[in-house]
Amino acid sequence: MEPQMESNSKKLFVECLGTCIFFFIGAGAIITNQFSNGAVGLIGIALAHGIILSIMVSAFGGISGGHFNPAVTFAVMIAKRISVSLGLQYIGAQLIGGVLAGLLLRTVFSGDLCAAVHLGTPAVAGGISVGTAVLVEAILTFALVISVFGTAIDPRAPKIAGFGIGLTLMVDILVGGPLTGASMNPARTFGPGLVAGFWENHWVYWVGPLLGGGLAGFVYEKFIMEKK
């Protein structure tokens, strides 16, 4: 295998693996909350997502950049910091990782428990219009991707990438979790959703995050990143 091919294969492997672990813990916390009759709660679910993302970014960021999210990869593509070809491969690996997480969750938890929360798949709350849901997902993803650029991609960034990103995810969930599930990540919705067969308002979780992430990538690269 040529060195570049080997390097890319490792990047794709850790994007798939990191995404799978991230979603297993995050969605698993939602299922466990159902199992425990609400003992985990919104704060617990937010902590589970934020801390595991922090760990995965810290563990694998040096290999692949630790995207684990098509919206992040799309933003990095917009900023021209990854090729379109490799970016699309990243997205494919993330979607596969999401599906694997869904399959593992269905194996661990009972069918009735999984069905009650659709394997932890994000959903739009009653009383929230789809337009509002798209806006919420876009805003939350914008904040998340800004944190990715500001703490990981920017050469001036402090060496706190994993925890800066994870904390942003956590507080985003505290705000948006009750409204849209605060996915901010098409793969996070796609993987468990595919295994659960739950597609309600699925397009919201592609349009919102890609809009917010793409805008964040453009804004940071155009107006904030130091030019050489």
Q: What is the DSSP letter of 125?
A: P
- Which ranges of the chain would DSSP assign to H, the alpha helix? 3-35, 41-64, 70-78, 84-108, 111-117, 130-148, 161-180, 186-196, 204-219
CA dihedral 190, 195, 199, 201 (to 10 degrees): -40
Distance CA 17, CA 60 (A): 9
The candidate with the shortest Cα–Cα distance to 71, out of 99, 90, 49, is: 90
What pLDDT shows up at residue 228?
72
Instruction: Write the CATH number for 61.
Output: 1.20.1080.10
Token reading at 53: 């993302």
Q: Give CA separation, 132 vs 128, 182, 204, in Å.
A: 6, 12, 10
**How far apart, in Å, are the Cα atoms of 39 and each of 29, 32, 34, 35?**
10, 8, 8, 9
DSSP label of 222: I
Domain interval for residue 213: 3-224
What DSSP character marks residue 160? -
Buried b (16+ CB within 10 A) or exposed e, 172-186: bbbebbebbbbbbbb
Per-residue CA distances from 204 to 142, 185, 200 (Å): 15, 11, 9
Global confidence as pTM: 0.96
Per-residue pLDDT tens digits of the chain, which is 228 residues long: 334 555 999 999 999 999 999 999 999 999 999 999 999 999 999 999 999 999 999 999 999 999 999 999 999 999 999 999 999 999 999 999 999 999 999 999 999 999 999 999 999 999 999 999 999 999 999 999 999 999 999 999 888 879 999 999 999 999 999 999 999 999 999 999 999 999 999 999 999 999 999 999 999 999 999 987
> For the chain, how many structural domains are there in total?
1
